Amino acid sequence: MNDLYYRFDFSEINLKDKLEQDDFLILFLNHIELNYPLISYKLKTGIHFLNLNIKDVALLDLIYDWMTVYNAIYDLYMDSGDYEFWALKELENINSSINVLGLKLSNLLNNYAETYYYLFRGIDRELPKKCPLCNKDFNALEGSHICKKCKIIMEEW
Ligand SMILES: [Zn+2]
């Protein structure tokens, strides 16, 4: 496996404190590390929700809401027969409510540090060559595809 979860070490850091130059954050959640919504791309380290160091309570609330709902949908994708396909579509569709919220959040987080939104893709689903928002070609980055304009990141499997 080559996905983000297996490549990253989830020890804790504070937002901004240890971010290196030209590093960026990824808003990303998986079913194991539930409370680490952000990852430093360069340090390969997840940041715990409680260590985000964000003073804006409304923004923290939004992160918490996104985390909770995203995780609930992810759970449906992982564990349920009947809702699995529905959940996959929600996670993959850039226009679903959860992704619209995630993109909004990611945009707000850019005030703290450059942040990309991780767009989920089911196993064995083809990686699109173009960004689903602006329809321009993705840029390749170490096994990932990113759109710098829309701040979206997707992964090769
Ligand atoms: Zn784009």
User: How many Cα atoms occupy the beta-carbon half-sphere of 9 within 13 Å?
Assistant: 6
Note the helical H segments in 23-144: 57-79, 84-92, 97-109
Using the mean position of ligand 1's atoms as its centre, give its distance from the Cα of residue 31 in Å: 26
Share of the chain above pLDDT 70, in %: 84
Q: How far is the CA of 130 from the centre of ligand 1 (A)?
A: 8
Q: What is the pLDDT of residues 63-105, one digit of tens each?
A: 999 999 999 999 999 887 899 999 999 999 999 999 999 999 9
Residue bearing the bigger pLDDT, 123 or 14: 123
**93 CA to centre of ligand 1 in angstroms:** 14
Cα 72 from Cα 139, distance rounded (Å): 31
Q: What are the residue ranges spanned by the domains of the chain?
A: 25-155
Higher-pLDDT residue of 19 and 97 is 97
Distance of CA 149 to the CA centre of its chain: 16
C-alpha 28/C-alpha 154 separation (Å) is 11
pLDDT at 16: 56
Q: How far is the CA of 55 from the centre of ligand 1 (A)?
A: 29
Read off the pLDDT of residues 35-60 as tens digits, 9 standing for 90 and up. Answer: 889 888 887 778 888 888 788 889 99
Tell me which amino acid residue 139 is.
N
